[in-house]
Amino acid sequence: MKIAIVGAGAMGSRYGYMLHETGNEVFLIDGWKDHVNNINNQGLIVEENGQIKKVKIPAMLPGDAVEIPDLAILFTKSMGLEAMLKSVKNILGKNTKVLCLLNGLGHNETLEKYVDSKNILMGVTLWTAGLAGPGHVVLSGDGSLEVQNIDPSMEVEAKEICDVLNKAGLKAHYSEDVIFSIWRKACVNGTLNSCCTILDCNIKEFGELKQAPQLIRNIIKEFSDVATKYGVELDVEKVANGIEAIYDPSQAGEHYPSMHQDLIQNHRLTEIDYINGYVSRKGKEFNINTQYNDLFTTMVHAKEQLLVK
């Protein structure tokens, strides 16, 4: 299958590499010039369990892509999605399936402006990846993903895409309710990412705070109130219990969430507007009280002003 990875940072490089290894015709599209040049000049460096491989996968800047793929997998950061869709719209053919795997909320609304809803697949991924530098991806741990079509008539096509992903070892399964899963994952990011970023601590340290249980429930309650408007029912206690299981060091306790890595460690902008910020915006629209999400959104933006130059 011809597959474009649209946004080939850490996660895009992981998916691109795994799909390339199983014989798909993969090309990487990314706006970071040094990254694209390094991949083309030396190959994508893939580091896994201390082993290093160099893999030849074509890479290009968004404006340079001309071939129409069967599948485009979106892996920009949330705030780069719309600009990326605009700059690659020439390669999104009338039969190109577009799979969105970004974290965050509201991406289906953005996609519908550029892609026929028949071709939109939404997903949630539990794989992880990091970049050690331009052209150098670091892979660790195991993962999986779930995928579902937005248009009910496209189930067969979505299942075919799952098969391609599975052949690459990505452990994809067809989801019966991907929008629910997207909201549930957004609750994890909307609590652990935002709290650990503002408090500058890892997940285990956050979980040990006596304020943590009430704080996460207050945040999740607001997610749940807004989600109801989209027909999604989130059980606050169940979601909170799932998040509390992650505090365990054998899970992800020792990790700093990606928002902490982006902002506190690397001084990059965050996806806050698509997590707590989305709930805050929609709260205003639907006249729902979202005071915790309002405050976290404001605080993360304030921290961005201090750290991102």
Enumerate binding residues for ligand NAD (CB under 6 A). Answer: 7, 9-12, 30-32, 35, 75-78, 102-104, 125, 128-129, 131, 258, 271
Nearer to ligand NAD, 219 or 236 (CB): 219
**Long-range contacts of 149-158, Cβ-Cβ distance < 8 Å, separation of 24 or more:** 149/120, 149/121, 150/108, 150/117, 150/120, 150/121, 150/122, 151/117, 151/118, 151/120, 153/118, 154/118, 154/119, 154/121, 157/97, 158/97, 158/121
Nearer to ligand NAD, 38 or 290 (CB): 38
Q: Which of 171, 185, 204, 221 is catalytic?
A: 185
Nearer to ligand NAD, 5 or 236 (CB): 5
> Least Å distance between CB 214 and ligand NAD?
26
Nearer to ligand NAD, 35 or 282 (CB): 35
Bridge partners (DSSP) of residue 4 are 27, 72
- Does residue 300 contact residue 276 with C-beta atoms inside 8 Å? yes
> Least Å distance between CB 191 and ligand NAD?
15
> Least Å distance between CB 20 and ligand NAD?
16
Q: Which residue is nearest to ligand NAD (CB)?
A: 9
> Least Å distance between CB 107 and ligand NAD?
9
Nearer to ligand NAD, 207 or 257 (CB): 257
User: Has 309 been annotated as catalytic?
Assistant: no
> Least Å distance between CB 287 and ligand NAD?
29
Q: Which residues of 204-230 are buried (b: 16+ CB within 10 A; e: fewer)?
A: bbbbeeeebeebbbebbbbbbbbbeee
Enumerate residues 6+ apart whose C-beta is below 8 A from 5.
12, 13, 15, 16, 19, 26, 27, 28, 29, 72, 73, 75
CB atoms within 10 A of CB 265: 11
**Cα angle value 21/24/29 (rounded, 5°):** 95
> Least Å distance between CB 210 and ligand NAD?
29
**Cα angle value 141/32/267 (rounded, 5°):** 70
Report helix, strand or coil for 141. Answer: coil
Nearer to ligand NAD, 194 or 225 (CB): 194
| HEC letters along 269-289 | CCCHHHCHHHHHHHHHHHCCC
Question: By C-alpha distance, which of 121, 124, 243 is closest to 181?
Answer: 124
Rounded-to-integer distance, Cα 195 and Cα 244, Å: 13
Catalytic residue numbers, as ranges: 185
